[in-house]
Amino acid sequence: MDIQYSCVGCGKCCNDHHVPLTLNESKRWATDGGAVIILVEAFLENGYGIPEHQLNHARSRSLLVSSGEARAYIAITFAAYNAGPCRNLNSDNMCNIYERRPLVCRIYPMEINPHIPLRPVTKDCPPHSWEAGPDLIIGGKLVDSELATLIEQSRQADRDEIITKEAICTQLGICTTALKGDGFATYLPDMPSFAAAIEQVLGQSIIPPSESNWCFQLSRDSITDAMKLHGAKISNSGTGIYTFIPLQQVSSALGK
Ligand code: SF4
Ligand code: SF4
């Protein structure tokens, strides 16, 4: 499939999208006065919760942790909390931090997850942005090598930072996850505490292996029963920390 594309500056992608951030971007976002949301999902070591063809990619950006008698691969995303317009979007639909905007903002509308093909209809960009402009994809291949490099940088940051992000969650007392495909466990921590936790964890010369025992909060009894059979620890607390966010709001592949 060939795709042409040109951003028309409508600003739609800067509204109501939680923008995934690298660790350094998260720290800066928090200290600049923005809010960071933490999204957690996991699948079991034995593969429950993940399609087989996605296993390698999902494992590469996850950390193996305990959950009751089971083990689970946990993935953690720190994202700019953008309910409504992003705090950096000005009245002319321009980005106030354009030169230092997050990596994922530079990648949109491309997908980061290699298992999600780019589908213009699922994107915020209006139809005329796909009707002209430079070639984006020719013969199924991304044309722009700089864009390809940015996508790889984002994937590498996911792989490199998962141990640190899990340690930060432990520091913040976060130890409940959702099952991949069932939703996301989401947290909106107090930002000074979040920034302090990042500071503290990054200040350690070696981050010790995770000893936390994560529990799952699940949406349906049928899934809960299956997870119990696998020995996973299930949350009965009903603390309200778990919020089910439709995947398209978190943006494709946890991209923007
Ligand atoms: S940082 Fe800039 S480009 Fe990214 S969502 Fe906010 S306004 Fe848009
Ligand atoms: S939604 Fe698409 S066309 Fe509109 S500003 Fe964002 S990238 Fe550009």
Minimum mean pLDDT among 54-63, 100-109, 203-212: which range?
203-212
Helices (H), 5-114: 23-31, 55-60, 103-107
Ligand 1 site, residue 26, Cβ cutoff 6 A: no
- Tens of pLDDT, residue by residue over 18-47, are 999 999 999 999 999 999 999 999 999 999
Helices (H), the chain: 23-31, 55-60, 103-107, 145-171, 191-202, 221-229
What Cα–Cα distance (Å) separates residue 254 from each residue in 80, 95, 245, 246?
Answer: 12, 20, 12, 11
Domain regions of the chain by residue span:
3-254
pLDDT on residue 254: 44
The single-letter DSSP state of residue 208 is P
How many Å apart are CA 8 and CA 119, to the nearest integer? Answer: 17
Q: Residue 15: helix, strand or coil by DSSP?
A: strand
Length of the chain: 256
pLDDT on residue 209: 86
**Mutation test of ligand 1: which of 105, 107, 124 has the most ligand atoms closer than 8 Å to its C-beta?**
105
Helix axes 191-202, 23-31, angle to 10 degrees: 140
Phi, psi of 85 (to 5 degrees): -70, 145
Ligand 2 site, residue 7, Cβ cutoff 6 A: yes
More confident site: 1 or 232:
232
Ligand nearest to the CA of 99: 1
Q: Give the bridge partners for 222, in sequence order.
A: none
Ligand 2 site, residue 45, Cβ cutoff 6 A: no
The alpha carbon of 158 and the centre of ligand 1 are apart by a number of angstroms equal to 20
Helix axes 145-171, 23-31, angle to 10 degrees: 70
